[in-house]
Amino acid sequence: MKRIFFIITVSVFIVALFAFTGKYNHQQIAKPNPVNDTIHFEGEKHFANIRQLTFGGDNAEAYFSFDGKYIIYQRTNAKEGIMCDQIWMGKVPAPGENFEPKLVSTGTGRTTCAYFYPDGKHILYGSTHLGSADCPPVPDRSKHGNKYIWPIYESFDIFKADLNGKIVKQLTKTKGYDAEATISPKGDKIVFTSMRDGDLDLYTMDLNGKNVKRITNTLGYDGGAWFSPDGTKILWRASRPSTPEEIKEYKDLLKENLVAPTNMEVWIANADGSDAHQVTFLEKANWAPNFTPDGKHIIFCSNHEYKRGFPFNMYITDIDGKGMEKISRDKGFDAFPMFSPDGKKIIFCSNRNNGGTRDTNIFIADWVE
C-alpha cells in the first residue's frame, strides 16, 4: 500500500493496492504518440533533465537499489491484462537507452511495496498470491458512504525473491496483513506494517524474518516507514483517531480489514521506535515521507493546500517540520519520492504528461540544490 496509488481525484491517493492475474514476460514499455502536456512544470527548480520512464497504466512506488543502478516498482495496466499490481524492475537507463523492465513477482495475486536487499541480488515485496492466484476483491465503498478506503488484505505476506523472480523465503507467516516493508541502509533490519496484534503497527525484523519486534503502540494506522541514511531513525505516515467518533470509525473499519487514509501526518522516531513524535501538523493526507541523503531533511507528499483533497504535491522540510518548501507543481498527483544513494537524482510518480488520462507514470530527474 506503500504504497500506494492514483487518478486526479482523492482516489489517486495511492496505487499500491492494485494487481493482476496471469504471467507476463520481460517487456519494454513503448512510448505512445506525443500529447499536449509537460514533464517539467514552472517552479520546479530542483528538477533538471527530467525523463519519463513508463508510459501508460498505474506505475508507483519506484525505488532505487542500494547502488543506484536499478529501480523496482509496482504496476497495473488493464489494457495489457495486468489487472492489479505486480512487481517490475529495470536498470536506470543512461541517456539514449530505453527503460526495459521485467516482471519479478509471481504474476498472481496482488503485490505491493517492493524493495531491494543491500546485496543487490534479492528483493522483498508483499503479496496475496498464497491466498489466491486471483486479484482480491476491491471494497464496496457504497457501504461506507462512498468514503475513500483501502483494503488491508489478510492474505498479504512479505516474501524474499531473487532478481529472476524466484521466491527464496517467506518472511512473514502470521495471520493478517503484513506488508509495506523497507530495509535499513545499515543492512541489519526490515521495518514493516502488520495487523498481527490487532492494530496497524510498525514492526522490525532481521533480514531473514527473525527477531520480530513491535515498535509502535498507539491506536491508528502506522505505515510506509523508511530508515534514515545512517539507519538510526525512521519516518512514517500515521493516523491518530482521537475523538470517540473517530476511534469508533477506525475500529469498525479495521474489523472489516479496511482503513480510511484521508487524515495522516508524518512521524519520526529512533529506529527502535523510541522518541516517536509528530513532524507535520498540516491536516488532510500527509504521507510517502522519505529522508534526503543528508538525513537532515524530509521529503513527503501532501494535499493540505487544497480543500477538495487534490492535487497532491511534494514538499521538503527539515526533520522538525520547519522551513517547508513546495517542490512539485503537477495539478494531479506527485508522490513516492526517493533520492538516489549519491543524492544526485530523484525518482517519483506523477500524473503529469498523461494526456488527460488517469495514468500514473515514473519520472527520474537530476536533483538541483
Architecture per CATH, domain 10-367, reads as: 6 Propeller (2.120)
Can you tell me the distance from the alpha carbon of 280 to that of 120, in angstroms, rounded to the nearest whole number?
Answer: 34
- How many C-beta atoms lie closer than 10 Å to residue 52's C-beta? 17
Q: Among the listed ranges 34-43, 84-93, 108-117, 181-190, which one has the minimum average pLDDT value? A: 34-43
pLDDT in tens, 252-294: 999 999 999 999 999 999 999 999 999 999 999 999 999 999 9
> Is the predicted pLDDT of residue 37 greater than 90, yes or no?
no
Q: Alpha-carbon dihedral of residues 293, 208, 349, 222, nearest 10 degrees? A: -90
DSSP alpha helices (H): ranges in the chain?
244-255
- How many C-beta atoms lie closer than 10 Å to residue 83's C-beta? 17
Q: Among the listed ranges 72-81, 138-147, 161-170, which one has the minimum average pLDDT value? A: 138-147
* Cα 163 → chain centroid: 20
Can you tell me the distance from the alpha carbon of 309 to that of 135, in angstroms, rounded to the nearest whole number?
Answer: 28
pLDDT in tens, 208-239: 999 999 999 999 999 999 999 999 999 999 99
Taking a C-beta distance cutoff of 8 angstroms, is the pair 112, 2 a contact?
yes
pLDDT at 241: 97
pLDDT at 16: 34
Query: What's 39's DSSP letter?
Result: S
Query: What's 247's DSSP letter?
Result: H
> Taking residues 134-159, what's their average pLDDT?
94
pLDDT at 1: 53
CA end-to-end distance (rounded Å), the chain: 30
> Taking residues 158-185, what's their average pLDDT?
97
pLDDT at 309: 87
Q: What mean pLDDT value characterizes the chain?
A: 91
Amino acid type, 75: R
Can you tell me the distance from the alpha carbon of 310 to that of 216, in angstroms, rounded to the nearest whole number?
Answer: 29
> Is the predicted pLDDT of residue 10 greater than 80, yes or no?
no
Q: Where are the domains of the chain?
A: 10-367
> Taking residues 182-206, what's their average pLDDT?
97
Residues in the chain: 369
pLDDT in tens, 49-65: 999 999 999 999 999 99
Can you tell me the distance from the alpha carbon of 225 to that of 270, in angstroms, rounded to the nearest whole number?
Answer: 12
